[in-house]
Chains A and B, each alone.
Chain A
Amino acid sequence: MMLFMLLLPAIVMFAVSFIKNKQAKWLLPISSIFILLPIIQLFLLDKPYLFANDYLLADKLNTFILLVSSIVGIGVTLALLTLSRRVSISKRAYRRFYRSFAIFWVGLILSILSNHMGVYWIGLELATLATVYMIKTNNTPAARKEAWNYMIVGAISVSLILFGIILMYASAKPALAEQAMRFDLLIFEAERIPSPFLFEIGFSIATIGMFVKMGFFPMSLWLPNIERASFYPVAALFSGILESAVIIGFFRLSKIMMLVNYTHLFWFVFIYALLTIFIVSLLIFKAKDFMRLFSLSGIEHMALIVIFWVSGGTFAALLHLGAHAFLKPALFLSTGVLESGGRYQFAGTLKGYTGAKAKLFALMVSLLLLGVISVPPSPMFFSELSGFASMLETAQQSHYMLAMIGAIVLLLIFLSIIFYRFINIFQSMKYEGEAQVKTVYVNELLVLIIFAASLLLLLTPLSLDYLRSIQ
Chain B
Amino acid sequence: MIDLFIGLFLATLIVELFASRLYQLIFWYSANSLFLGLLALWMGRQLNDNAMLITGILTILLKAISIPFLLRFLAQKHQFSRQIKSEIKLHYAIILIPVILVFTFYLAEPLSHKIGTNANYVAISISSLFLSLLMMVQHKGIAPKIIGFLSLENTLFLLGMTATEGMPMLVELGIFFDLLMAIVVINLLFHKEDSE
- A: residues with CB less than 8 A from B are 55, 96, 116, 118-119, 121-122, 125-126, 129-130, 132-133, 136, 139, 144, 147-148, 151-152, 155-156, 159, 162-163, 166-167, 169-171, 173, 178, 181, 195, 197-198, 201
What are 19 A-B pairs at a CB distance below 8 A? Answer: A116-B170, A119-B174, A125-B181, A129-B185, A132-B189, A133-B188, A139-B192, A144-B189, A148-B145, A151-B149, A151-B189, A152-B136, A156-B152, A159-B152, A159-B156, A162-B175, A169-B167, A171-B114, A195-B115
For residue B156, which residue of chain A has the nearest CB?
Answer: A162
B90 at the interface (CB under 8 A from A): no
The one of A130, A148, A170, A181 in contact with B163, judged by C-beta atoms closer than 8 angstroms, is A170
Q: Are A163 and B129 in touch, CB under 8 angstroms?
A: yes
Cα-based distance from A383 to B104 in the complex (angstroms): 43
Residues of A within 8 A of B133 (CB): 156
Known A118-B174, A125-B178, A178-B168; contact A148-B114, beta-carbon cutoff 8 A: no
Q: Are B167 and A118 in touch, CB under 8 angstroms?
A: yes
Residues of B within 8 A of A130 (CB): 185
Cα-based distance from A149 to B185 in the complex (angstroms): 13
The one of B175, B182, B192 in contact with A129, judged by C-beta atoms closer than 8 angstroms, is B182
- B: residues with CB less than 8 A from A are 110-111, 114-115, 129, 133, 136, 142, 145, 149, 152-153, 156, 159-160, 163-164, 167-168, 170-171, 174-175, 177-178, 181-182, 185-186, 188-189, 192-193, 196
Q: Are B185 and A167 in touch, CB under 8 angstroms?
A: no
Q: Are A201 and B111 in touch, CB under 8 angstroms?
A: yes
Residues of B within 8 A of A163 (CB): 129, 156, 159
Residues of A within 8 A of B163 (CB): 166-167, 170
Q: Are B149 and A147 in touch, CB under 8 angstroms?
A: no
Known A159-B152, A197-B114, A198-B114; contact A126-B167, beta-carbon cutoff 8 A: no
Residues of A within 8 A of B152 (CB): 155-156, 159
Quote the shortest CB–CB distance from B113 to chain A (angstroms): 9
Quote the shortest CB–CB distance from A106 to chain B (angstroms): 11
Q: Are A152 and B159 in touch, CB under 8 angstroms?
A: no
Known A151-B186, A159-B153, A198-B115; contact A129-B167, beta-carbon cutoff 8 A: no
Residue among A96, A155, A169, A173 with the highest chain B CB neighbour number at 10 A: A155
Given contacts A118-B168, A129-B185, 13 further A-B contacts (CB under 8 A): A119-B174, A122-B177, A125-B174, A126-B181, A136-B189, A147-B189, A148-B189, A151-B186, A155-B149, A156-B136, A162-B156, A197-B111, A197-B114
Quote the shortest CB–CB distance from B3 to chain A (angstroms): 20
**9 closest Cβ pairs, A-B complex:** A118-B171, A122-B174, A170-B163, A195-B114, A125-B178, A198-B114, A170-B164, A155-B149, A129-B185
Q: Are A148 and B182 in touch, CB under 8 angstroms?
A: no
Residues of A within 8 A of B142 (CB): 148
For residue B169, which residue of chain A has the nearest CB?
Answer: A178
Quote the shortest CB–CB distance from B70 to chain A (angstroms): 16
Quote the shortest CB–CB distance from B95 to chain A (angstroms): 24
Cα-based distance from A162 to B182 in the complex (angstroms): 16
Cα-based distance from A159 to B158 in the complex (angstroms): 13
Cα-based distance from A367 to B136 in the complex (angstroms): 44
Q: Are B189 and A166 in touch, CB under 8 angstroms?
A: no
Residue among B111, B129, B185 with the highest chain A CB neighbour number at 10 A: B185
Cα-based distance from A178 to B166 in the complex (angstroms): 9
Quote the shortest CB–CB distance from B32 to chain A (angstroms): 16
Residues of B within 8 A of A139 (CB): 192, 196
Residues of A within 8 A of B167 (CB): 118, 166, 169
Quote the shortest CB–CB distance from B166 to chain A (angstroms): 9
Cα-based distance from A119 to B170 in the complex (angstroms): 8
Residues of B within 8 A of A171 (CB): 114
Residues of B within 8 A of A181 (CB): 168, 171
Q: Are A133 and B115 in touch, CB under 8 angstroms?
A: no
Residues of B within 8 A of A129 (CB): 178, 181-182, 185
Quote the shortest CB–CB distance from A199 to chain B (angstroms): 9
Q: Are B149 and A118 in touch, CB under 8 angstroms?
A: no
Quote the shortest CB–CB distance from A226 to chain B (angstroms): 14
The one of B110, B160, B193 in contact with A197, judged by C-beta atoms closer than 8 angstroms, is B110
Known A152-B149, A156-B133, A197-B110; contact A144-B164, beta-carbon cutoff 8 A: no
Cα-based distance from A167 to B114 in the complex (angstroms): 10
Residues of B within 8 A of A147 (CB): 189
Cα-based distance from A170 to B163 in the complex (angstroms): 6
Q: Are A136 and B188 in touch, CB under 8 angstroms?
A: yes
Q: Are A136 and B192 in touch, CB under 8 angstroms?
A: yes
Q: Are B111 and A198 in touch, CB under 8 angstroms?
A: yes
The one of A55, A126, A152, A178 in contact with B178, judged by C-beta atoms closer than 8 angstroms, is A126
For residue B160, which residue of chain A has the nearest CB?
Answer: A166
Q: Are B188 and A121 in touch, CB under 8 angstroms?
A: no
The one of A118, A133, A152, A178 in contact with B145, judged by C-beta atoms closer than 8 angstroms, is A152
Cα-based distance from A148 to B189 in the complex (angstroms): 8
Quote the shortest CB–CB distance from A194 to chain B (angstroms): 8
Residues of B within 8 A of A156 (CB): 133, 136, 152
Cα-based distance from A119 to B174 in the complex (angstroms): 8
Quote the shortest CB–CB distance from B138 to chain A (angstroms): 13
Quote the shortest CB–CB distance from A137 to chain B (angstroms): 9
Quote the shortest CB–CB distance from A139 to chain B (angstroms): 6
Q: Are A55 and B170 in touch, CB under 8 angstroms?
A: yes
Residues of B within 8 A of A178 (CB): 168
Q: Are B159 and A122 in touch, CB under 8 angstroms?
A: no
Residues of A within 8 A of B159 (CB): 163, 166
Residues of A within 8 A of B186 (CB): 151
Quote the shortest CB–CB distance from B100 to chain A (angstroms): 16
Residue among A132, A151, A170, A195 with the highest chain B CB neighbour number at 10 A: A170
